[in-house]
Structure 1
Amino acid sequence: MNPDKQTPGEGYLQGEWKQDSVPAQKSLVTYSLYNIKFSCDSFLLKISTVSKVNYGADTCMSKGHWDEYIRGTYSQRRDTLHIKGQFCNADGSYKNEQGCFRFGDYEEYFKVHKQSDSLIRFVSTSNVIPINAHLIKRTSCIPKPL
């Protein structure tokens, strides 16, 4: 049976986390920076990509800079964070196939290394570049009805 309210999620993750840079980013052809907001058992992820290579129409790529958004839910088991969601528009609305870049389902697993109350390292199981994120704003979970 489905719950009628959100679950509280992980207390230490609640809030907004931001990655400012990646190791050796000036020498990389393409890299992405992550901004993730956790609210109870939900997340909103913004992936900001910078590329020196033109992969497609500039209406989408905006001179080598573009953002993608994903919203969904997460769960954690031991040191592994599982996030599962859907690509969406900046306002959180559903993204259709005719838009720029990826659409549909998104799923990722991260090993989580809490380095301090305001610094977390997310190591993706599918990417070699770790995400070192610092806390921008701490929030509390107030479960919403589903």
Structure 2
Amino acid sequence: MIYRSLPSASLLFILFLFSACRFNPNIQKSGSPAFQGVWEEASLPFKDSLLLSVKHTFKFTCDSFYVNIESFSKVNYYADSCFKGGHWKEYAKGNYVIREDTLYMVGAFTHANFKQKLSGCYRTGVYNPKFLIRKTEAEKIELVNIHQHLPMSLALKEKITCNPQPL
């Protein structure tokens, strides 16, 4: 008797699996309305006492981000051809999500035109910072980098309205 009900139980299980699975829509998510725009980091008051300081410019559009990272260093971490007198730029792009009080960014380092960077000076590969969101206002966002514990104050330079695009 168990053998007779096995095919019908298997059929019911397969039907359940197919009814439970759905493909995600092929359209980007809207992201956080408070973050939409171009944001520039203000200088740290103690920037001159650091061996390496960084200034970020973020562009959040829908669920995507683009970041320009401008570095100022007193110590040469790279080959002389890359060090450029202690001032250089890096770029990254990817997607972000906000969960509770944390901003998660997952992307890749790129060239200045935001095409994937596989080799060259500075960092390559995954760009994966996490920020604690301290405060969000209409024209100001305060973050703390979870890995470096440095505060970051962002000022709105340009507001962007999310218009989700097909993927």
| TM-score, with length taken from structure 1 | 0.94
The answer (yes or no) to whether the contact 1:22–1:129 under 8 Å persists in 2 is no
The answer (yes or no) to whether the contact 1:123–1:129 under 8 Å persists in 2 is yes
The answer (yes or no) to whether the contact 2:43–2:55 under 8 Å persists in 1 is yes
| RMSD of aligned alpha carbons | 1.2
Q: Which stretches in structure 1 are left out of the alignment for 5+ residues?
A: none
Percent identical residues: 39
Q: What secondary structure, in the 3-state scheme, does the structure 2 residue paired with 1:11 have?
A: coil
**Paired position in structure 1 for 2:106:** 84
Aligned-partner Cα distance in 2 for 1:76–1:20 = 22
Does residue 114 in structure 1 map to residue 135 in structure 2? yes
Where has structure 1 moved over 6 Å in runs of 4 or more? none
Change beyond 3 A, Cα 1:38–1:27? same
The answer (yes or no) to whether the contact 2:139–2:155 under 8 Å persists in 1 is yes
Change beyond 3 A, Cα 1:115–1:77? closer
**Paired position in structure 2 for 1:137:** 158
**Paired position in structure 1 for 2:11:** none
Give the alignment partner of residue 33 of structure 1, picking from 37, 42, 55. 55
Query: Which structure has the bigger radius of gyration?
Result: 2
The answer (yes or no) to whether the contact 1:74–1:83 under 8 Å persists in 2 is yes
Q: Deviations over 1:30-87 (max 9, x none)?
A: 1101110000000001111100112222332211001111100000111111100000
Q: What secondary structure, in the 3-state scheme, does the structure 2 residue paired with 1:62 have?
A: helix
Q: Which stretches in structure 2 are left out of the alignment for 5+ residues?
A: 1-22
Residue 131 of structure 1 and its aligned partner are, at CA, apart by 1.0
Residue 115 of structure 1 and its aligned partner are, at CA, apart by 4.5
Using CA pairs under 8 Å that are at least 6 residues apart, name the structure with larger relative contact order, 1 or 2.
1
The answer (yes or no) to whether the contact 2:42–2:152 under 8 Å persists in 1 is no
Higher helix residue share: 2
**Paired position in structure 2 for 1:42:** 64
The answer (yes or no) to whether the contact 1:85–1:105 under 8 Å persists in 2 is yes
